[in-house]
Structure 1
Amino acid sequence: MTEELTGWQLAQVNIARMREPLDSPLMADFVAGLDPVNAAAESADGFVWRLTGEGNDATSLRFMDDPWLIVNMSVWRDGEALFEFVYSEEHRPFLKRRREWFARMQEAVTVLWWVPAGHEPTVAEAEARLRALREDGPTPYAFTLADRFPLPVPATESAAEDE
C-alpha cells in the first residue's frame, strides 16, 4: 500500500552552509541550477510540495538563525520517490559538486519524518526534527533516508494488533 493511500507523506529537510554569499562567482553555477533542479523535482513522480521563499526557491529563508545556512524542504509520497529524485539525472550533478559550494558539516544536515497528507511543514518544525536527530539519532520522530522508519500506526490499529 502506498503512503498516499494511508494518509501519510514523507517530509524532508536538508541544509547546507554556503562557502560564500549566493551572489558570489563561486556560487554562480549553483544559483543557475536552482530553477532547473526545482522544476525537475516538481515534475518527479511522488513529489508533493516544496518550501519557497522570495522567488521560486528557499534561498532567502534562514535556518537555525544562521545567515550562512540555506534550507531545502519538501514533501514526497514516500522514501522511494525521494530517493529516485535525489539520485536522478537532473539532481545528481549538483550532489557531486556540493563540496565546491558548501562546507562540510560534522552534524546531520538532512532529516526525514512522516506528516499527515496535505501538511506543509514549517521551518520551525524542520529545525526541531533536525535537532532531535542530532541529539537522539534516528527515531520514528526524525530519521534519515538510510535509516527510515515505517509509517506511523494509528492507535486503533496498534490496539487491535495487541489483542
Structure 2
Amino acid sequence: MNRRLAQFDLVKPKFPKEDSRMEEFYASTGYVNGLAEQHPGFIWRETEENQQLLDQLWGEGYLYTLSLWKDVESLKAFLYETPHKTFMQRGREWFDSVSRPRVVLWWVEDGHIPSLREAHSRLTHLYEVGPSYEAFDLHSSELPTVLY
C-alpha cells in the first residue's frame, strides 16, 4: 500500500478579516499556497473551504488548511525550509494561541482525499488519546508507531 500524509491545521484569527492588522496575513495567502503547490512533496490541498461545516464542527471564526503530502519530511521541508517559515514565526500576531493541539497528521491510502469531517475526527482523537498511528503531530512524527 502506498500511503500519503494528510495534514490539517486549525487557527483562530485574533481579528476580523477586514481589520487592518490581518491585512498582511490575507495578502500573503496566495503566495504561501503557491509555495506549497510548487514544493516537490506537495500532492493536494483543499481549495474550496467549507466554512459552514467548519463553523458547525469547531465554532465560528476558524480558518484551516487541509492538504496531502508525499511524507513527513516533505511537509517539514516546506514548513521550515521555505519562506513559509517566516509567516509561521509571525503567527502570534494574527492568531489566538490554543491550549490543545491545532495540527494533526495521519496516513491515508494513495488516491484518498481527506475530508473536513475526517480531519475533525483525527484532531479529536489526538486531543483525547494523544499521538498514535491514527493521529499524530509534527513533534510525534518521529516516534515509533505501534499497530494494533
Give the TM-score of the pair, scaled to structure 2: 0.90
Identical columns (%): 35
1:38 aligns with 2:23: no
How far apart, CA to CA, are the structure 2 residues paired with 1:95 and 1:65?
22
Residue aligning to 2:110? 117
Q: CA deviation at 1:59?
A: 8.5
- 1:24 is displaced (CA, Å) by 1.5
**What is the letter of the counterpart of residue 22 of structure 1?**
K
1:47 aligns with 2:50: no
Aligned residue in 2 for 1:27: 22
The one-letter code of the counterpart of 1:27 is M
Quote the offset at 1:120 in angstroms.
1.0
Q: Which runs of 4+ in 1 moved over 2 A?
A: 58-65, 149-153
CA contact (8 A) 1:59 1:71 kept: no
Distance verdict in 2 for CA 1:59–1:83, change over 3 Å: farther
Map of 1:11-160 to 2, 5 A cutoff? Answer: 11-53=6-48, 58=49, 60=51, 62=54, 64-148=57-141
Alignment gaps of 5+ in structure 1: 1-5, 154-163
Look up the SS of the partner of 1:87 in the other structure.
helix
Alignment coverage as a number of residue pairs = 145
Matched-pair contact (CA < 8 Å) for 1:16–1:102: yes
Matched-pair contact (CA < 8 Å) for 1:12–1:111: yes
CA drift of 1:119 comes to: 1.1
- For the pair shown, the structure with the greater C-alpha radius of gyration is 1
Work out the CA distance in 2 between the residues paired with 1:41 and 1:151: 27
Contact (CA 8 Å) 1:46, 1:76: kept in 2 or not? yes
Greater RCO (CA < 8 Å, at least 6 residues apart): 2
Report how far residue 20 of structure 1 moved.
Answer: 1.0
